[in-house]
Amino acid sequence: MARDDMTEATVTEQAIPKVPTLPDAQTVTHVKHWTDRLFSFRCTRPASLRFRSGEFVMIGLMGDTGRPLLRAYSIASPSWDEELEFYSIKVQDGPLTSRLQHLAVGDEIILRPKPVGTLVHDALLPGKRIWFFATGTGFAPFASLLRDPQTYEDYDEVIITHTCREVGELAYGAELIDGIRKDELLNELIGADNLSKLRYYPTTTREESPRMGRITDRMRSGEVFTDLGVEPISPENDRAMVCGNLAFNLEIKELLEGYGLREGANSDPKEYVVEKAFVD
């Protein structure tokens, strides 16, 4: 290359920034792959972003057309955290996650800072025990709520059930629960011994594990209540939040209504709330 050409190349590089800054850009600080279909990542949090644990935001990447490609994502980190955490599926031909799964530390994502959602404490009337029912990535909003001290201040007992096809798909949740039990501050609220007010109930449906079967079937048979040593769900004592696929949400809703619980909303708190983990 002639000397003049080299100079010209340098000038051009200076004129056009190498990495164009995205609108509402946040920087990825941590990435962990859990299975070939699941990963989690953390990113910087806009100083102005306030949210309630359990809410979701729109995140994404710049699309090929130059317009942002955005999807709804539950914030998996609690509202007090300095960073934001997300727990994500990898859909091989999915417009967003076929690319999002290749995120690396230092990359930028787009984050629209308008949190919304129904899986919030404000949408429930006071109760003694709260149930979080999740399938698959529906665990994400509960990863936030389980790390929020308010959850343990508001309830005597917190039960999280997580149903996945395979054992490996439980790992993110299992590690998170383990971390909460070892966390000094949260430990004071939940108790570190066998009398802990945090109960974890994982089940798998397509791979052998200590507890097999759909949570809905184990509720109908009463096994879940026997296993945990608790009374069946009642509107006087129990509150519930549900996040899974559409069929799961509908089945749980029917069960909860059968126990006498009514669906609440931000503007009209009642005994249970539901949100889709994804759109089928």
Ligand X SMILES: Cc1cc2nc3c(=O)[nH]c(=O)nc-3n(C[C@H](O)[C@H](O)[C@H](O)COP(=O)(O)OP(=O)(O)OC[C@H]3O[C@@H](n4cnc5c(N)ncnc54)[C@H](O)[C@@H]3O)c2cc1C
Cα→Cα distances 56→31, 35, 161, 216, 244, Å: 19, 23, 20, 25, 14
Question: Using CB distances below 5 to 8 A depending on partner kind, what does residue 151 bind out of ligand X, ligand NAP, none?
Answer: none
Contact (CB, 8 A) for 128 and 122: no
> Could you give the dihedral angle defined by the CA atoms of residues 228, 255, 163 and 109, in that order, rounded to the nearest 10 degrees?
-120
CB of 261 to ligand X, least distance (A): 21
User: CA triplet 27, 173, 128: central angle to 5 degrees?
Assistant: 115
Nearer to ligand NAP, 197 or 276 (CB): 276
Question: Using CB distances below 5 to 8 A depending on partner kind, what does residue 164 bind out of ligand NAP, ligand X, none?
Answer: ligand NAP
Nearer to ligand X, 144 or 203 (CB): 144
User: CA triplet 242, 243, 245: central angle to 5 degrees?
Assistant: 125
Question: Using CB distances below 5 to 8 A depending on partner kind, what does residue 216 bind out of ligand X, ligand NAP, none?
Answer: ligand NAP
Question: Using CB distances below 5 to 8 A depending on partner kind, what does residue 238 bind out of ligand X, ligand NAP, none?
Answer: none
CB of 252 to ligand NAP, least distance (A): 7
The residues of the shown chain that bind ligand X, judged by CB under 6 A, are 56, 71-74, 87-89, 91, 94-98, 136-137, 140, 275-280
The residues of the shown chain that bind ligand NAP, judged by CB under 6 A, are 37, 135-136, 163-166, 205-206, 214, 216, 245, 247-248, 251
Tell me the residue number closest to ligand X, measured at CB. Answer: 94
Question: Using CB distances below 5 to 8 A depending on partner kind, what does residue 165 bind out of ligand X, ligand NAP, none?
Answer: ligand NAP
Rounded Cα distance between 7 and 210, Å, is 67
Which regions of 136-265 does DSSP assign to beta strands (E)?
A: 157-164, 198-204, 238-244
CB of 39 to ligand NAP, least distance (A): 13
Phi, psi of 182 (to 5 degrees): -95, -10
